[in-house]
Amino acid sequence: MSRGVSRRGFLKALAAGTGAAIGTRVAGGAAGWIGEARAATDSASAVVLLYLTGGFNELFVSPDGLVGKFSIQPGGFTALANDVFIDNTWGNALSPYAKQHLAVIGCRHGTNGHEIAQRALWAHNEQNAGLVLADAIGGSAPIKAAVVGSGLNVNTIMSPYKDISFQRIDDMQATINALGGGRSNPRLPDRAIALAGIGGAQAMSQAHFASSPKSLVSADQAYKVAIETLKTPTKPFSFTDLAEAYGLNATAVSSFKAKFAAAELMVRAGTNVVAIFDNDVWDSHEDPSGTGDRNRMTGHVLGPMNTFISRMIENNPTQNVVLCVMGDFGRDTTPLTGHTIDLSAAVFGRFVKVGSTGRVVSNGYQKNPGPGVAQLWSYLASACKAPTNPFGANPHPLVL
């Protein structure tokens, strides 16, 4: 049994009848039992956003409306429950669990411009919607929002929200070190003294931040996060487990699969919202066969995505993790495969009910346009069971 948890305490907790009452949690295959210190920073909910910059072709999640387009033959797609259909690339790759926990969420933002769509999809009342969601989920983790690797979309609102900002994670080992400490090396600072040292550095930087409140906003936020991280009880993590699961041989978040591994790390560390930006050629013009999008999806996305769904949604009973796949907009079905003005997002989660509010018609546009950006984020807040939902009512009846 883990340290600090007696047999009597364990049996009492079981008798309480709720898994959350155990107080510790199994971190999948990463670290086994973790002591009580972890409970102080647990976040039960987390949302991971896989943002395909440029567009997310609706052929993957509404092929039934696109017969004759994008190389889709009658019946040439995979049927799920509740009249939901997915492209065979997804049908052949997704696990049975993923197919039983997928919803397609329609969102009409009304614009076919990349920068405007990117800003619109990430905005809520002039704030970054991801940060608003991170705040709503709550918890006491020092890093409540993170972006893994490069590609942070600068068209999104970059300002912090209630001192929450997207912390960029570029190296998993450095992050593990920061979260877990415990390295024995006389040339490393003592963690408690480092807290005082960085606190002093922060104090020595205040005048500079005051004179550059915008250009140095990330630095201002960074000191706060560093201090909070050092104040938080340490959590041991193992890169070895992540490396094996995602097929990595380096700790740098420099590949797509490394981004998903880093997302898993951050969710386990208690981060509420993790953003993964993929800047491949998802703005797939002149691809009427859909070949390019399918190749990109099968080439580097589906593998790590499946691993993440298996480890973090299917086999992670003490966290409610939601994965949302989205992009600027869908593609129209003209020979130039231009931009639509709406989006069919794919959402996976333990409490996601199979269904679709994002069906499209033959031109690639939403069949029943209506709900907008706020409603998409409202759905995500509902699906992850956030304590509060700042985005208004959720019109998508696809939450268990």
Partner 1 sequence: MNACSFVLLTIAAISVSACDYEALDVDRRRSPRGQSSADVENDAGAAALDPARCGGKVYTDFDGKSLVAQRIQALPNVDRGRIKPYGALAGEYARVLGKVPESLAGAASTYGPAPERWYEEPQASGITVLSAFEVAFDGCLGHTETDAKYAAMPEPSTAAAECTAMARKFWSRMPSPSEVDACVAVATTGTASEPQARRKWAYACAATLTASGFLTY
Residue 142 interacting with partner 1 (CB under 8 A): yes
With respect to partner 1, which residue has the nearer C-beta, 7 or 214? Answer: 214
Binding-site member from 230, 248, 345, 352 for partner 1 (CB under 8 A): 230
Distance of CA 215 to the CA centre of its chain: 27
* Beta-strand pair 85-86/127-128: unpaired
| 238 touches partner 1 by CB under 8 A | no
| Cα 266-271-277 angle, rounded to 5 deg | 65
The answer to whether 223 contacts partner 1 (rule: CB under 8 A) is yes
Interface region with partner 1, contact rule CB under 8 A, candidates 46-54, 58-66, 112-120, 251-259: 251-259
Binding mask 164-193 for partner 1 (x = CB under 8 A): ---xxxxx--xx-xx--------xxxx-xx
Which of residues 6 and 215 has its CB atom nearest to partner 1 in the complex? 215
Does 253 sit near partner 1 (CB under 8 A)?
yes
Cβ neighbours of residue 184 closer than 8 Å, sequence gap 6 or more: none
Nearer to partner 1 among residue 91 and residue 113 (C-beta): 113
Length of the chain: 400
- Per CB under 8 A, does 200 bind partner 1? yes
Stretch that binds partner 1, among 91-99, 121-129, 144-152, 387-395 (CB under 8 A): 144-152
- Nearest 5°: phi and psi at 372? -110, -155
Should residue 231 be labelled a site residue for partner 1 when binding is judged by CB under 8 A? no
Bridge partners of 343, per DSSP, are 107
Q: Which two tokens stand for residue 5?
A: 């948890």
Does 255 contact partner 1 by CB under 8 A?
no
Residue among 36 and 190 whose Cβ is closer to partner 1: 190
Binder of partner 1 out of 37, 79, 81, 210 (CB under 8 A): 210
* Nearest-angstrom CA–CA distance, 20 and 36: 13
Q: Report the DSSP pairing between strands 78-79 and 85-86.
A: antiparallel
Quick one: DSSP state of residue 328?
S
Q: Is 207 in the site for partner 1 (CB under 8 A)?
A: yes
Give the one residue of 74, 214, 249, 393 binding partner 1; rule: CB under 8 A: 214
**Rounded alpha-carbon distances, angstroms, from residue 396 to 15, 210, 320, 381:** 36, 44, 19, 12
For partner 1, the closer CB: 114 or 353: 114
Tell whether residue 150 is a contact of partner 1 (CB under 8 A).
yes
Among 126, 259, 143, 371, residue whose Cα is nearest residue 380: 371
Comparison of 227 and 383: residue with beta carbon closer to partner 1: 227
Structure token digits, residue 17: 């009848």
Q: Which of the ranges 16-24, 200-208, 240-248, 338-346 carries the binding residues for partner 1, by CB under 8 A?
A: 200-208
Using only the alpha carbons of the chain, give its radius of gyration: 21
Q: What is the rounded distance in angstroms from the CA atom of residue 373 to the CA atom of residue 110?
A: 10
Q: How far is CA 377 from the centre of its chain?
A: 12
Number of residues that bind partner 1 (CB under 8 A): 58
Positions in the binding site for partner 1 (CB under 8 A): 142-143, 149-150, 152, 167-171, 174-175, 177-178, 187-190, 192-194, 196-216, 218-219, 221-226, 228-230, 250-254
